[in-house]
Structures are given as C-alpha cells and as structure tokens.
C-alpha cells in the first residue's frame, strides 16, 4: 500500500514541478534561470550547510551522507516566499509557493546507502517593463516576461570506506523548458512587435562527495567534507518566433518561425562550470554543531548563445556559509522543547552575475526548528529565511524576501504497525 501511494506521489510531484512557477525574480531572465536551494529544509536553516551528516536525515547536497543512513527515510519540502521588488523610485510586492523536493533514502547494508528523488534545479519567472523615448520623442515600451525552469531526477549512493570516512556520488538528469518573450510597442503606433523564444533543455551532471568525521576525546566530532559538482553538459533545442500584433485587440497579425538552422542556433550547448565546496565543523553528538563552508565556481566561462543579452557578463562565483544547531536534551522525557533542534545560519554569496557593471550579490539569514514527531526519529522542520539580492543602483532591482520553509522527514518506524504480544 505504501509503495502504491509513493508511486502516485512521485507522479504528481513530477507534474507539479513541471507546472509550478518557482520564482518572481527579474534576475531569472539571465542564464538558465535562478538556481534553487539544493538542500533539505534542515540544511537550509543552517545557512545551506551540506557537510553535516547523521543516520536519520537525507542530505541532498552531499551524497556521502547516504553511507550513514540506518533507517529508510522519506522527506518532502515546501516553501513560501514573500518578495518586495524595489527600484530607485518604485516598489512592488509578490509571492510564490513551491514544492522544494521529494526524496527517499535507505540503507542497503551497514556501509552502503542509496537515495533517489525529484527536485527543482532552476526557475524562470519575471515580468519587466522598460520605457524609453526614441528620436521622435515617442514613448517606446518593452515588456519582458518569462517562465519555466529545469528539474532534476537523481539517484545517489553513499559508502563507508573505513570508520569515519564516507564517499558518495549522485547522478542527476536535468530537464525542462525555458520560455522568454519580448513585446515592444511605440506610442501612437497601431501595431507592436514580439520576439518569443523557447528552449527545451536536458542533460546530466554528477556530484561527488566525501566526509571525514573522527571522534575527539570520545565526546566531540570533527567534521570535514568536500563536494565536487562536475560541469553540467546540457543540450538546448531552441525555437524562435517573431512578428507583429494589434495593440487594440492583442491579436497576432503576422508571426513567422525563425530559421535557426541557418544561424546554427537550433541546437546549442550549455555548460555549467564545476562547483567545489569545502567544509569544516565541530560538534558534540546529539547536542550541538557549528560549521563553515566555502564554495567556488568558474562561472566566467558560462555562455548562452541563444539568449545573449547586452550589458550582462559573468565572473567567477563564490559563497561563504556559517551555521549550526543546538539540542538542549535529546533524550528528555520531561519537556518537549528540550528535544527540539534549534538551527541558525548565515549565507553570503557572490552570484557571478554582472548586470550594468554591477555585481549581483545575495545575502541571507536563516533560523528554524526541528520538531520531533511521536516517539521515533521522524521530525517536522520549520524554518525562516530573511534575505536581500541585487541593488537599486544602475537601474537595477533589489529583492528583499522572507521565505518560510516546511519540511517533513519520516522514517520507516513511522509506517510500522504496533504489535501487542
């Protein structure tokens, strides 16, 4: 019965991920969209740390963690984001709700674990209006809008090589569509023009991870980790339609298919450079943990020949993350709040995107709670993130956002019927 329900949920999740609009960010116009949070809610609430691993939680960013799993675990995450978009003169509010991931992990032996699932990779969702005056003094309006994004179906393996040393690998298949449109109209002119572009993208990438977690003085644990998300080689099947339409009725008058084969743009390649993450942490088992990570990516080599944009370029990206958790008393029977996991973190990111000669940065503060469910190892994770991305200078947009996250992690004990002898 559980398996049938699981198959149904996976099918519905795949459909919903393909249909959902995952962002309202104007910066999702560039590249292949806005990169989504890759970790589970419990990891996200520690600033996005990927280095912490244990025996009951799935870690989506470090496949070495699957080698530690001792229970079958089902996890799902949801998020709701309230966003304020600000220019130098105007403000606008928006919101978006998303499914973050659906994942399953289970041990195959005392040393080997496996996991698989679905999660969004990037999201496109923007609506931008730009007005200027031409040489005849007429107002020219350009409206840019887009939607779509890429999803990932993945499978992971983790293995304990020797005590305290784990390695792992994840193979991900990326798929989805990116849709962008520009509509231009001129004051007192009856017809406008449109440029509509679509890209069907797919391809693989691989993520390799390793952790070394020796005990110190039989009480504390040193956490070290490295993950290497190799270059994603994606192929993009492109189409473009241009034409005119009536401003009064919005009916398309003459729209033609552009011969992209003649321009050698029908099928293009998108290469997302390798991302490397190094982590170091320290903690006491089932009590507290504090860690830091540094990620870097040679994004300066990225290009998208089909959607080249003026005044936009890329440079190498990097991110610094600090985070941790605290549990007052893991085994307390007298107080529920003593068994709650309290998490917090901070994230500082240079996205590598340069628009109008301004570097786009992203900063976030996170905190949340891991709430135990019943008397087993299942838990409900509630988290919050306050962040700011972009700038209002150089005619750009600044995003200020509040993100509320909800994650559910259930282990196989949850589904076992209690028996009375």
State the SS3 of 85-152. EECCCCEEEEEEEEEEEEEEEEECCCCEEEEEEEEEEEEEEEEEEEEEECCCCCEEEEEEEEEEEEEE
Indicate the range of 9-18, 73-82, 220-229, 238-247 predicted with least confidence: 9-18
Q: Which whole number is the average pLDDT over 56-78?
A: 94
Q: What is the pLDDT of residue 146?
A: 94
Residue 293 corresponds to which tokens in the numbers above? 């990570």
Which is nearest to 59 in space by CA: 414, 409, 412?
409
The more confident residue out of 167 and 133 is 167
pLDDT band at 380 (very low <50, low <70, confident <90, very high): very high
Alpha-carbon distance 323 to 21, whole Å?
A: 29
Q: What is the pLDDT of residue 413?
A: 62
pLDDT band at 7 (very low <50, low <70, confident <90, very high): very low
Residue 20 confidence (pLDDT) above 70: no
Q: What is the pLDDT of residue 129?
A: 86
pLDDT band at 360 (very low <50, low <70, confident <90, very high): very high
Q: Is 48 in a helix, a strand, or coil? A: coil
Q: What DSSP character marks residue 273?
A: P
Q: What is the pLDDT of residue 415?
A: 52
Asked if residues 302 and 275 have their Cβ atoms less than 8 Å apart, the reply is no
pLDDT band at 417 (very low <50, low <70, confident <90, very high): low
C-alpha distances (whole Å) from 283 to each of 184, 226, 376 are: 57, 18, 23
Domain architecture of the chain: domains with CATH: 2-414 (2.40.160.60)
Residue 95 confidence (pLDDT) above 50: yes
Give the model confidence (pLDDT) of 336-353 as tens digits: 999 999 999 999 999 999
Give the model confidence (pLDDT) of 203-255 as tens digits: 999 999 999 999 998 899 999 999 999 999 999 999 999 999 888 777 888 89
Give the model confidence (pLDDT) of 261-306 as tens digits: 999 999 999 999 999 999 999 999 999 999 999 999 999 999 888 9
């Amino acid at each position: 019965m559980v398996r049938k329900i699981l198959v149904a949920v996976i099918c519905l999740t795949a459909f919903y991920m393909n249909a959902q609009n995952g962002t309202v960010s104007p910066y999702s116009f560039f590249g292949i969209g806005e990169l989504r949070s890759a970790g589970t809610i419990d990891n996200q609430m520690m600033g996005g740390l990927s280095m912490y691993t244990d025996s009951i939680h799935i870690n989506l960013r470090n496949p070495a963690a699957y080698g530690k799993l001792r229970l079958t675990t089902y996890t799902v995450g949801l998020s709701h984001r309230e966003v304020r978009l600000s220019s130098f003169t105007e403000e606008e509010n928006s919101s978006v709700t998303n499914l973050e991931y659906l994942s399953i992990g289970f041990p195959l032996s005392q040393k080997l674990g496996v996991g698989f699932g679905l999660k969004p990779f990037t999201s496109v969702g923007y609506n931008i209006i730009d007005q200027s005056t031409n040489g005849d003094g007429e107002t020219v309006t350009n409206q840019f809008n887009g939607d779509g994004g890429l999803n990932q179906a993945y499978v992971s393996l983790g293995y304990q090589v020797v005590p305290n040393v784990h390695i792992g690998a994840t193979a991900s298949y990326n798929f989805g569509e990116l849709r962008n449109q520009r509509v231009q109209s001129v004051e007192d002119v009856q017809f406008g023009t449109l440029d509509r572009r679509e890209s069907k993208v797919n391809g693989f990438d691989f993520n390799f991870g390793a952790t070394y977690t020796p005990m110190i003085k039989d009480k504390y644990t040193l956490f070290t980790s490295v993950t290497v998300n190799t270059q994603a080689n994606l192929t993009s099947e492109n189409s473009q339609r241009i034409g005119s339409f009536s401003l009064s009725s919005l009916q398309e008058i003459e729209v033609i298919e552009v011969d992209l084969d003649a321009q050698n743009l029908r099928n293009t390649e998108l290469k997302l450079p390798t991302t490397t993450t190094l982590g170091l942490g320290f903690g006491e088992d089932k009590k507290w943990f504090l860690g830091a990570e540094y990620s870097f990516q040679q994004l300066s080599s990225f290009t998208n020949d089909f959607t080249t944009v003026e005044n936009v370029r890329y440079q190498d990206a990097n991110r610094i993350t600090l985070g941790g958790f605290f549990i007052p008393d893991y085994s307390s029977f007298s107080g529920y709040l003593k068994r709650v996991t309290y998490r917090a973190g901070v994230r500082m990111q240079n996205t590598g995107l340069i628009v109008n000669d301004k570097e786009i940065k992203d900063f976030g503060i996170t905190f949340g709670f891991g709430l135990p469910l019943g008397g087993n190892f299942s838990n409900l994770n509630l988290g919050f993130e306050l962040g700011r991305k972009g700038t209002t200078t150089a005619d750009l947009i600044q995003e200020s956002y509040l993100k509320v996250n909800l994650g559910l992690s259930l282990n196989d004990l949850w589904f076992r019927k209690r028996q009375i002898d």
